[in-house]
Amino acid sequence: MKWIEEGPDVETYKKCEEREGKTPTIEEIEGYKKTWQRDRLSWIKDSLPQEWKERYEALVDELGEPEHPDFASVTTTWVGPTSPKTPQELQAMSVSEIVDYLKRWEPPKDILERPTPEGLGRILAQVVSQDPARFAKEAESFKGLDPTYIRHLLSGFREARPQESFDWKPVLFLCQWVMEQPREIPDRREEPLDKDPHWGWARQEVARLLSAGFEEGSKEMPIDFKKLVWSILEPITDDPDPTPEEETKYGGTNMDLVTLSINTTRGEAMHTVIRYALWCKRHLKVESLEELPEVKKVLEKHLDPDVDPSFAIRSVYGQWFPSLVSIDKEWAKSHVGKIFPHDEPSQLFWEAAWGAYIVFCPLYFCPPYDEVFEVLYGEYEKAVEKMGKWSPKISHIADPDEKIAEHLMAFYLKGKINLTDRVLNSFWEKASDELRAHAMEFIGRSLPNIEEKEILKRSKLLWELRLKSAEESLQKNDYKKEIAAFGWWFISGRFENTWAFQQLLQAIKFSKRIEPTNLVVERLARLVTNYPKEAVRCFKELVDGEIEYWDVLGWHKEAEELLSIALESADIEAKELAEETIHKLGARDHLEFGKILKK
């Protein structure tokens, strides 16, 4: 149910749509998520708990019954916005002919599946992306066209392959013209599916295009255009989208704030502002925001909740906080209190910024930075205090508490904090068994990529301390999942086998199981030839533990291999343990293991 609750990979969906020259709206993204959830709930609709049954019925009322509820995937044909011209036909026309056609063409009104400006715009974007240099030279000739076409034209430049360079100057002049247009178009909102309802979507595409132009590579904008670029970008940071009403409708439990921010005009612009600052830092060797007063002014302006009450905008500061530290550490330090406010009325702003930082920093931008940790130490302490108490008004693309665990483990392994550190001790004290298990699993999953002996030494010290804490606790059941996660450490193969076998045996004895069981049994089967007694002893302890009948089915083949090798071993104790284990499995109705004894 957690998988369904989290929803589909929205970023992959957006990229697929954009590859087709489409820019999905917030409504389309939300519709995709709801449809995805409805379809998967339909697979188990007869077994759903009451709360989920009500959610499923609400989705069916809104979207209709799933077309093919029995199929995991379905191939269908969907007729979306269509174009009066094919890509080949547009490619064969000169740029001036295309502009003239876009000015003159009117969609027919008496055809059911009629071509639309949106459909034509998508084809235009596709054609432009394949030959951006040809269109860039004459970009200004597109002035005066409908924003639908302008948006797709700019999208084509953005989607051009990295090696397809073009002249930015006329493209930027076109963007400048876009920003000169009144945002609202009288009477346009009556036909939002055929044409852009206003210039806001085109402005958002301007911001996206500028972001693409800040990236290193052959498509990068020359720094000489800095002043022109800022004159285009700054007004977009004041766009009304998202309004409080839109944020309430599409945010909350519907969409995480970072995803919401990149699907709004002002949000996209704020992301672009920080990319602009990084672009300037790279080319002009900027060392502080005092050298970029235009950026400093915008960042400080939108930190005022009376000016910008958007939680989505606040999430931008959290997501990019490591970059803000790299741009101007002193500014970042002095504004921690505003970005992550602690006063009670501002708690949702804190959650918006912190949730974006803790979730997105390690996933997309960076490993946890030591320097950032120093600046945000107090926020880590607050986050540990807040574990399990996040507001239901804000959703996150991943569990913030799990990310806190991952960050702290990373800082410990790197030696940034030690076993007696205040925030680390607070984490172990306040975290649930499940969350502590996640922390141990995170380390275990990281170990295969670690070679440094010092980190492996620190890992062993941590494990031994955690095992000691569990064994000395009066509430041993509260540690079972954490200790069972040692299996991830064992399968890494990073520790000397004698120590690893000893710890594995203790972990299984304590927790009565191990995770991930199938991979642990698989590794035991690989080691049994050289360590017959140790491998079988651990396996027998596992079989003696709290395993269910169907658990064995997941590692039946590996168990059979392990026991067969042990029976052929010269180690008498290993043979005896193997026989005992086979009889134990037989007593649990796994009689098939008896054939090993017959051999």
Amino acid 147: pLDDT: 97
Amino acid 205: pLDDT: 98
Digit-coded pLDDT (tens) for 383-402 = 999 999 999 889 888 899 99
Amino acid 69: pLDDT: 46
Distances (CA, A) of 227 to 231, 234, 498: 6, 11, 65
Amino acid 22: pLDDT: 67
At position 2, the amino acid (one-letter code) is: K
Tell which residue, 10, 20, 5, has the closest CA to residue 260.
10
CA pair distance 62, 64, nearest whole angstrom: 6
Amino acid 70: pLDDT: 45
Question: ∠ CA(429), CA(432), CA(436), 5° rounding?
Answer: 80
Q: Mind listing the pLDDT tens digit of every residue in the chain (599 residues)?
A: 667 877 887 776 776 665 555 677 877 888 888 888 888 888 777 667 777 777 888 887 777 777 544 444 444 444 457 899 999 999 999 999 999 999 999 988 765 568 899 999 999 999 999 999 999 999 999 999 999 999 999 999 999 988 889 999 999 999 999 999 999 998 886 454 688 999 999 999 999 999 999 999 889 999 999 999 999 999 999 999 999 999 999 888 889 999 999 999 999 999 999 999 999 999 999 999 999 999 999 999 999 999 999 999 999 999 999 999 999 999 999 999 999 999 989 999 999 999 999 998 754 345 557 899 999 999 999 999 999 999 988 988 889 999 999 999 999 999 999 999 999 999 999 999 999 999 999 999 999 989 899 999 999 999 999 999 999 999 999 999 999 999 999 999 999 999 999 999 999 999 999 999 999 999 999 999 999 999 999 999 999 998 888 889 889 999 999 999 999 999 999 999 999 999 999 998 889 888 888 76
Where do the H-state alpha helices sit in 181-264? 200-213, 226-236, 244-250, 257-261
CA pair distance 126, 327, nearest whole angstrom: 36
Maximal CA-CA distance, the chain: 91
Cβ atoms 575, 567 nearer than 8 A:
yes
In this structure, the chain runs to a length of 599
Task: Work out the number of other CB atoms within 10 angstroms of the CB of residue 436.
Answer: 23
Amino acid 1: pLDDT: 66
Amino acid 230: pLDDT: 99
Q: Is the C-alpha dihedral spanning 560, 565, 567, 568 positive or negative?
A: positive
CA pair distance 59, 98, nearest whole angstrom: 43
CA pair distance 543, 584, nearest whole angstrom: 7
Q: Is the C-alpha dihedral spanning 228, 230, 231, 237 positive or negative?
A: positive
Distances (CA, A) of 381 to 214, 374, 433, 442: 35, 12, 19, 20
Amino acid 44: pLDDT: 72
